[in-house]
Amino acid sequence: MKPHTAWIGLTALACLASALGQPAASTMTPPLAAPRPHSFTHHGLTIEDPWHWLRDPAYPKIKDKAILDYLKAENRYFEAHMKAQQPLVNTLFQELKGRVQEDDSTVPVKDGDWLYWSTFTEGSQYRRHYRRLANGGPDQLILDQNELAKGKEYFQLADLVISPDGKLMAYAYDDDGSERFEVHFRDLETGRELPDVIPGTLSSLVWSADSRGLVFGYANDNWRTDNIHYHRLGDDVKKAKQIYQEPDIGFSCDVDLSTQEDWIILGTGDQVTSEVRLIPTANPLAEPILVSPRKVGREYDVDVRDGVLYIHTNDEHVNFRIATASLEQPGVWTTLIPGSDRHYLTDIALFRDFFVTEGRIDGLDQIEIRHYDTPQVVEPIVFPESSYTAGLGVNAEYATERLRIDYESMVTPATDYDYHVAEKRLETLKVQQIPSGYDASQYVTERLMIPARDGVLVPVSLLMKKDFPRDGSRPLHLYAYGAYGHATPPDFSTSRLSLVDRGYAYALAHIRGGDDLGYQWYLDGKLQKRTNTFNDFVDVARGLIQRGYTAQGQISASGGSAGGELMGAVINQAPELFGAVVAHVAFVDVLNTMLDAELPLTPGEWPEWGNPITDKAAFEFIRSYSPYDQIRAQAYPPLLFTAGLNDPRVTYWEPAKMVAKLRALKTDTNLLLLKTNMGAGHGGKSGRYEHLHETAEEMAFILWQMKR
């Protein structure tokens, strides 16, 4: 019997079993995606890929019935096994929901004549957005996401921007998870929807100064923004005027607004190189001003104040510097704040009377105020804890005497502060409420430095109950991301409490690949150093065992996207360490994805992973760690993979191929599950309660498999 016919037979049996009533999970045969011969040769090496057929050639449309039948069979298998855990799922869901303030509201932000905020009401899945005049007046509902999401399986609001005159609103949303957004316009004085609708966008939105037009970018056929356009309200949207076209297939474009709202900042770049142009908001069709031509490996971003450019760049130091330039000579840069080996500069924000730098020292967030006439004099904002995460919140006004600050730690709920600059004083505006109760004094947080196999010390942040023993008797959950220079902050999470209250320690591994300890920390986890990321995670797990926080086999682990790649790599390298692993929308088919220049993100990803198409060394190195390619006949821990059918970032077939190959090769009898959201994308289901339910399912899987 041919493999394809055999697989269809298994699927038919699964469908028949479903029609006759779901069998007990223990008696169910796992879905089998039978291999089909497929191979390719590159750089003289032949690669066998018998589950290649799970990629639908019609993608981004998925039409192949055999593929859809397989994904549905896996979903039925997931549901059957989780059915017995439903009481635990329900308990966890109620715990998670009980920690959510159902009728919650953000702290209003002043922008010109108006105050803006959003709310959740009891039982609602999505936010309502409001405003009122700052000097008094009635609340005005300007957008209800619940109305827009009504009857839809998925909904995501991408952007909401008010015109400079305060009379119009542009907003963009996606209702299938594909991240191709549709822009709508609303007259805020009448509540009327304007006829202008712009489909297929993939960028931020910026209004022209006269409030009559919008600057944006379309998604091209490969889900890249290689263009910037201008639409004048009332004109045919199909005739929007192109402002810029990016020639490099690896670069993507986006737009932003300068601090004084007089310049459109048009940025284009990939993971390591950037280029910026400036366009006056008063004339979006004017010839863009190029700040400085792209140079491979140089990143920079720009803001403008009173005709002076402020440039944040890594051209002279790996941890970035701040430079200035004039509009007349935008490419001539003068250092304002030099780079530092210890102080990693991550951002700059300009205000009328002062500017703010953000960064990290030894991995700890720093917010520093400086004045234009004495930029070397630093006024740091001092926070009450020794370990925390903090950053600028929404600060909409250029002329301000106070700063909105977001703050939290692993034991302190999210807190909104206003920092009064002249008084150097923090004013608490809001602390995240936990209706079911939370006593911070019952928890402790620690920060460890654990040596990796090459001697480098890797930071680890931990949360646990204050009476947690260090005798190896307790389970521990370990999380990390470790890619793209995204740090893993030691932040607050109500969901972690459900594990910690059941005796777990919860650990965040600040592994290389993120920029937790500076930009070099990121560089040391990418390209030919990528395996440092995986080794760091494994070595942190072993270090936690050695220190008595847990024992071998008593570690659960999770990660998503590139963190899902991490999960795939560590279960291949050291499966014996883990008692359960959850890999969300896992980027596990790295070699095949990086070989496919037609996929949405691939060309822009080569600076991160390497280009195996042209570089044999990159080909061989990626193959050496790509989780899908490194699956072998060995015992694996219990595993749960998730996917999104409409996910444009990590395509559905990557987790599907990983699971299919694991089913064929793994030697254990541990549970292996795949759950594919058939109507969602990279972020899973939308809506705050749907998201909580998925979290509850994943925690139930961990507790079940860890026998806790």
In a domain, 544, yes or no: yes
Q: How confident is the model at residue 683 (pLDDT cuts 50, 70, 90)?
A: low
Q: Which of 229, 231, 510, 682 is catalytic?
A: 682
| Residue 279: per-residue pLDDT | 98
How high is the pLDDT of residue 19?
33
pLDDT value, residue 455: 98
Catalytic residue among 196, 387, 647, 693: 647
Give me the pLDDT at residue 177, please.
77
Please report, for residues 5, 372, 374, 541, the alpha-carbon distance to residue 532 in angstroms, rounded to integers and kept in the order given: 43, 41, 41, 14
Q: What is the CATH number of the domain that holds 601?
A: 3.40.50.1820
The distance from CA 638 to its chain's CA centroid, rounded to whole angstroms, is 25
CA angle, residues 203, 172, 283, in degrees to nearest 5: 55
Q: Given this model, what pLDDT does residue 26 score?
A: 62
Residue 630 forms part of a structural domain: yes
Q: Which domain holds residue 49?
A: 3-10+32-97+444-705
What is the H or E stretch that residue 110 is in?
Answer: strand 109-111
pLDDT value of position 123 = 85
561 counts as catalytic: yes
> Could you tell me if residue 117 is inside a domain?
no
In a domain, 348, yes or no: no
- Band the pLDDT of 269: cuts 50, 70, 90: very high
- Which is it for the CA torsion 649, 651, 656, 659, positive or negative? negative
Per-residue pLDDT, 3? 29
Distance CA 641, CA 624 (A): 22
CA 309 – CA 302 distance, rounded (Å) = 7
| pLDDT tens per residue, range 390-417 | 999 999 999 999 999 999 999 999 999 9
User: How confident is the model at residue 13, as a pLDDT?
Assistant: 28
Task: Report residue 134 as tokens.
Answer: 């700052």
Q: Contact 695/79 with Cβ under 8 angstroms?
A: no
> Residue 614: is it exposed, middle or buried by C-beta count within 10 angstroms (0-12/13-18/19+)?
exposed
3-state helix, strand, coil in the chain (%, to 5): 25, 35, 45
Virtual CA dihedral for 680, 681, 684, 687, nearest 10 degrees? -60
Mean pLDDT of 297-324: 97
Residues 6+ apart with CB under 8 A from 670: 635, 636, 637, 638, 639, 705
What is the count of structural domains for the chain? 1
**pLDDT-based confidence at residue 678 (cuts at 50, 70, 90):** confident
What value does the mean pLDDT of the chain take?
Answer: 93
Whole-number pLDDT of residue 259:
95
The one catalytic residue in 274, 292, 461, 561 is: 561
Q: Give the tens place of pLDDT for each residue, 489-518.
A: 999 999 999 999 999 999 999 999 999 999
Q: How far is CA 344 from CA 354, 459, 666, in A?
A: 20, 16, 44
Task: Express each pLDDT in 477-493 by its tens digit.
Answer: 999 999 999 999 999 99
Q: For residue 11, is pLDDT > 60?
A: no
Q: Is residue 459 part of a domain?
A: yes
Instruction: Tell me what the mean pLDDT of segment 84-106 comes to.
Output: 94
Burial class (CB in 10 A: 0-12, 13-18, 19+), 486: middle
User: Looking at the domain assignment, is residue 231 inside a domain?
Assistant: no
Please count the helices (runs of H) and the strands (runs of E) in the chain: 14, 38
Per-residue DSSP letter, 173: E
Residue 647: active-site member: yes
Q: What is the pLDDT of residues 159-218, one digit of tens each?
A: 999 999 999 999 999 988 777 899 999 999 999 999 999 999 998 999 999 999 999 999
For 537-554, the pLDDT digits (tens) are 999 999 999 999 999 999
Q: How far apart are CA 444 and CA 413, in angstroms?
A: 13
Residue 531 lies in a domain: yes
